[in-house]
Amino acid sequence: MTETAAHTTGSFTPPTRFAVPGRIEVDGAAAGTWQTATLTEIRRETHRASTFRFAVPGWAGHLPGQHLMLRLTAEDGYVAQRHYSLASAPDDSGHIELTLDHVEDGEVSGWFHTVARPGDRIEVRGPLSGFFAWPGDRPALLLGAGSGVVPLMSMVRHHRALGLTVPLRLLVSARTPGELIYARELGTETTPVFTRGAPAGTPVGRMTTAHLAPLLAEAPAGGWEAYVCGSNSFAEHASRLLVAAGQPVDRIRIERFG
Ligand SMILES: Cc1cc2nc3c(=O)[nH]c(=O)nc-3n(C[C@H](O)[C@H](O)[C@H](O)COP(=O)(O)OP(=O)(O)OC[C@H]3O[C@@H](n4cnc5c(N)ncnc54)[C@H](O)[C@@H]3O)c2cc1C
């Protein structure tokens, strides 16, 4: 495993390949090598979530659904590491994007949302996880909640960027329309579900089998590969709904942010 020497991160201070089914092979060298990522842009998505764009000249490329390990190092040597999904579709721009929720009292997300500025340097290692990757080769039924939509958006963007015709549907849960990450980008492939507040005429409540039934009824030949991402409780809820609606258990892939 190769590692670059640890370096300090701006003003960070601690607060008070195709294998179906199964795992896609991960490049061990890329997964084990820390690289410097320079923050180039911050875009607000909702009042709690922003997208952070980084230049990573040596990025090995990724598949939609994969994530990375991110490391912040304070001047006193204190290190904080967290996993983050890749929000951007694979491309050869030498840039990657992450979308972070601002978690209350969160050490790393708090630093990004209150301190980080373009030009700051952090470290990343990846891409990681072959299991949740979607190469674009099979019909995909995507279920996400909150920031769980991040890796699913990479899949949607990849689908659009390549003009893929393989069926893809996204069922995404957010508390309110204002908290729906990527709202402006979501298209006809997406069904939003609002749990706390919605425009007049739109029902409010949790995701149910009624949301899934029409999608499973229109399952393409060979069926869907389901990808579920969100908190532990959402992952449990959504996977139970899928099984109850007839989705085979071995065709449900789950990523938990909890
Ligand atoms: C594979 C993977 C991919 C992930 N991808 C993303 C992503 O794309 N975007 C994203 O925003 N997050 C993502 N996460 C979550 C992320 O790794 C961190 O857990 C999150 O940013 C909180 O870190 P923090 O340092 O800000 O908070 P911490 O300092 O670790 O926690 C502060 C407090 O918040 C609580 N807490 C921690 N995490 C959460 C959470 N997610 N929701 C609510 N409360 C929490 C803790 O229990 C603690 O009380 C992912 C996690 C995994 C495992």
The yes-or-no verdict on residue 34 having pLDDT over 60 is yes
For residue 240, with 0-12 CB atoms within 10 Å meaning exposed, 13-18 middle and 19 or more buried, which class applies? exposed
Q: Is the CB of 150 under 6 A from ligand 1?
A: yes
Surface-to-core class of residue 210, CB atoms within 10 Å of its CB (0-12 exposed, 13-18 middle, 19+ buried): exposed
Q: Which pTM does this prediction carry? A: 0.92
Nearest to 126 by CA among 166, 154, 105: 154
Q: Is 256 helix (H, G, I), strand (E, B) or coil?
A: strand
pLDDT at residue 21 is higher than 90: no
Which residue's CA lies nearest to atom 13 of ligand 1? 84
pLDDT tens digit sequence for 200-232: 888 899 999 999 999 999 999 999 999 999 999
Residue 148: its pLDDT value, please?
98
Cα of 121 vs centre of ligand 1, distance in Å, is 20
* Ligand 1 geometric centre to CA of 240 (Å): 23
The confidence score (pLDDT) of residue 258 equals: 78
CB of 50 closer than 6 A to ligand 1? no
CA distances from 138 to 161, 203, 204, 249 (A): 16, 31, 32, 17
pLDDT at res. 23: 62
Q: Report DSSP letters for 129-147, one per residue.
A: -STT---S-S-EEEEEEGG
| Ligand 1 atom closest to residue 84's alpha carbon, by position in its atom list | 5
Q: 70 CB less than 6 Å from ligand 1?
A: no
Angle formed at CA 146 by CA 142 and CA 148, multiple of 5 degrees: 45
The best mutation among 48, 109, 114 to test binding of ligand 1, ranked by most ligand atoms within 8 Å of the C-beta, falls on 109
End-to-end CA distance of the chain: 28
For the CA of 87, the nearest atom of ligand 1: 8
What is the structure's pLDDT at 128? 95
59-95 per-position pLDDT tens digit: 999 999 999 999 999 999 999 999 999 999 999 999 9
Q: What is the mean pLDDT of residues 139-162?
A: 98
Report the atom number in ligand 1 closest to the C-alpha of 98. 8
Q: What is the pLDDT of residues 1-16, one digit of tens each?
A: 323 334 455 554 544 3
The pLDDT assigned to 5 comes to 35
How many whole angstroms from 229 Cα to the centroid of ligand 1? 13
Query: Tell me: the pLDDT tens digits for 154-197?
Result: 999 999 999 999 999 999 999 999 999 999 999 999 999 999 99
How does residue 19 score in pLDDT terms, banded at 50, 70 and 90?
A: very low
* Cα gap 30→221, rounded to integer Å: 36
Which domains occur in the chain, in start order?
28-128 (2.40.30.10), 140-256 (3.40.50.80)
The finding on whether 236 has its CB within 6 A of some atom of ligand 1 is no
- Residue range 128-137: average pLDDT? 93
**Predicted pLDDT of residue 6:** 42
